Structure 1
Amino acid sequence: MKFLFSILLLCLFSFSVSAADMPSRIEINYAVTTDIGEGEINEVMEIKHTDDGHSYSIHSEAQATGIFKLLEPNRIVRHSEGIITQRGLRPARAYEKRGKKEPSLAAFDWKNHTITLKHKKQQLHEKLPEGTLDRLSLSYNFMFAPLPEHNIECYLPNGNSLVLSSYTITEETLNTPIGKMKTVVLTRQEDKSSKLKRKIWLAQNNHMLPVRIVSVEENGREIEKIVTGINISYKADE
């Protein structure tokens, strides 16, 4: 049975990468709530594919609104770009920028198996483990790669270091502002002493897109974002 299941996953993966109806551009709108006030963050994510279907770009911008904007007036910009492989996304460059602060940058050198991390004016070079992703590419990776049966392990840049992250895999029916969705839920496993928490809901019937993310950041801030709109284009940008 496990052998047949593996064959089915492989077939689904091969189809997803080569099928003519694979999206070339996706825009997602999220409403975001935090533990400080009733403000919202409006975030737009885009994923772009070239005509040959082998590269990607994901861009995310978050802007506080309402009361929350008084406390967090600056935009948060995240970006990831790279290529699509048979094992999923392989980032070449990723960064996060908050307002006018210097961005945190990760540059992936797969040929030499090294990653350069720039954070708070510090620059470090680390060994680059196979399968390393960044925060954005992890959320979209399973559009292109078969999902493991029980858990996921991968390295992610976190400021000036690489952190090994482990996620368990479950299923859940999720109510969203745009309807009920069958989802796969990735839950990050943390040490008991860690403040960090992260769960990602991927829509099973909509290209495994991330439709909800709940996290607790290093500063203790609780953030939940949930999809409010999805716009998909199936033609390459002209």
Structure 2
Amino acid sequence: MLRHPFVASCLAVLLLVAASVSLAAPRQLSVEYELLQQGISIGSVKDQLTVTGNKYQIDSLAEGKGIYKLMGERTLSSQGDISGNTLRPLHFESRQSRHPDKALVSDFDWAKKALAMQVKGRQQTEKLAKGTQDLLSIMYCWMWQAPKAKQIKLDVANGKKVSSHAFIVTEEDAPLETAAGSFKVIKLADSEGEKILYLAKEKGYLPVKLVVLDDGKRMEQVITRITGQ
């Protein structure tokens, strides 16, 4: 259910904030989502974002229900700085309760421009380019810097390697209807047509829905509940 690294990251970090929440500079947010596969509910995701000064911490817990519960819990965490109107990760972890030996741990050394990764107990290093995000921070960076170009390119570290992603940005004419409300959105679609992220324009460009097509299956994550300040 959560094996695809980009899917896992997206499940871990989709947010929708109520009008009373400060969207430009959130301090603490708790959010719950429903996870769907082929339109059928298969699990839930609970996320927590905390901002203290110029530091951020993101924690996410994804768990299945029914037969999918047998796969165990998936946790993701990201922590780092808020710098230059964006998030700059310093440490990222991905862990699966059923497979503790498959933990992924990454440390970002911006001074040396190096990304140190522990992949299943093995150490490896890659070059760290300016603006690189991890699987959680890639979702949150829009809260500080809204997408303005028609095409955006970003490097993303998924715990195993760094990959370049290109997203085409368009504005949807019809509002997006969710359990949390109706939203005017812009759409970020990757160039391969496998991932689509919807951002609510009037909610600080926070993600309200994610669609991922993987091996012929349609995965969706839709907001159900959020509290914060």
Query: Which TM class, normalised by the smaller chain length?
Result: 0.7 to 0.9
With the length of structure 2 as denominator, give the TM-score of the two structures.
Answer: 0.81
The alpha-carbon deviation at position 95 of structure 1 amounts to 1.5
Which letter does structure 1 place at the counterpart of 2:195? Answer: R
1: distance between equivalents of 2:169 and 2:125?
Answer: 32
Equivalent residue runs for 1:30-69 within 5 Å:
30-35=33-38, 38-50=40-52, 52=53, 54-69=54-69
Of structures 1 and 2, the one scoring higher in RCO (CA 8 A, sep 6+) is 2
1: distance between equivalents of 2:135 and 2:23?
Answer: 28
With the length of structure 1 as denominator, give the TM-score of the two structures.
Answer: 0.78
Residue of structure 2 equivalent to 1:145: 145
Contact 1:200 1:214 (8 Å CA) reproduced: yes
Instruction: Quickly say closer, same or farther: Cα 1:132–1:220, change in 2 above 3 A.
Output: farther
2: distance between equivalents of 1:118 and 1:185?
Answer: 33
1:79 aligns with 2:77: yes
Residue of structure 2 equivalent to 1:93: 91
Q: More displaced, 134-143 or 61-70? A: 61-70
Instruction: Quickly say closer, same or farther: Cα 1:123–1:220, change in 2 above 3 A.
Output: farther
Residue of structure 2 equivalent to 1:182: 184
What is the RMSD of the two structures over their aligned residues, measured on CA atoms? 2.2
Deviations, residues 60-83 of structure 1 (Å, cap 9, x unaligned):
11010134324x3x0011111111
Instruction: Quickly say closer, same or farther: Cα 1:94–1:159, change in 2 above 3 A.
Output: closer
The alpha-carbon deviation at position 87 of structure 1 amounts to 3.7
Contact 1:83 1:92 (8 Å CA) reproduced: yes
Q: Secondary structure at the match of 2:202?
A: coil
Contact 2:133 2:155 (8 Å CA) reproduced: yes
2: distance between equivalents of 1:64 and 1:23?
Answer: 28
Q: Determine which structure has more spread, i.e. the larger CA radius of gyration.
A: 1
The alpha-carbon deviation at position 98 of structure 1 amounts to 1.4
1: distance between equivalents of 2:79 and 2:68?
Answer: 30
Percent identity, aligned pairs only, is: 27
1: distance between equivalents of 2:50 and 2:204?
Answer: 14
1:136 aligns with 2:131: no
1:22 aligns with 2:2: no
Residue of structure 2 equivalent to 1:11: none
The alpha-carbon deviation at position 84 of structure 1 amounts to 0.6
Residue of structure 2 equivalent to 1:229: 225
Q: Secondary structure at the match of 2:68?
A: helix
